[in-house]
Amino acid sequence: MNALFIGTESYAWTTQDFLQACSRAKNNGIDTLFVKVADGSHIWYGGLTGVMSLLHLMHQQGIDVVPYQYCYGGATLQSEVAIANALLTNGYIPCLDIESEWLGQIAWCTWLVKNLYAAVYVTTWANVVDQSWQALMPILSTATKSFLPQIYTPYLYQVWQTQYETVGIGTSRCIPIFALGSIPLMTEEQKQASYALWEYGQLTDATLHSIAHITQDNVHRDAQAYAAWKSSEQFLNSGTPTYDTGIAKSWLALYQRGFYMGVPLTQEYSTVNWAGLPIVTQQFSNARAEYDGTEVRWYQ
Domains of the chain, by residue range, sit at: 2-212, 216-299
Q: Give the pLDDT of residue 268.
A: 93
Torsion of CA 96, 101, 105, 111, to 10 degrees: -40
Lowest mean pLDDT among 17-26, 109-118, 130-139, 246-255: 246-255
Centroid of chain to Cα 9:
19
Name the band, by pLDDT with cuts 50, 70 and 90, for residue 74.
Answer: very high
Lowest mean pLDDT among 33-42, 83-92, 113-122, 188-197: 188-197
pTM: 0.73
Q: How far is CA 123 from the centre of its chain?
A: 11
The CA distance from 67 to 265, in Å, is 33
Please check the confidence at residue 85 and state whether its pLDDT lies above 70: yes
CB 79 within 8 A of CB 41: yes
* Percent over 90 (pLDDT), the chain: 70
Domain 2-212: CATH class, spelled out: alpha beta
Instruction: Inform me whether the pLDDT recorded for 281 exceeds 80.
Output: yes
Please report the beta strands in the chain, taking only residues with DSSP state E, as ranges in sequence order. 2-6, 32-39, 42-43, 64-71, 95-98, 120-125, 144-151, 177-178, 195-198, 269-272, 278-283, 288-291, 296-299
On average, the pLDDT of the chain sits at: 92
Residue 219 confidence (pLDDT): 67
Tell me the average pLDDT across 13-22: 95
Asked whether the predicted pLDDT for residue 216 surpasses 60, the reply is no
* Main-chain phi, psi angles of 111, to 5 degrees: -65, -40
Please say if the pLDDT value at position 215 is more than 60: no
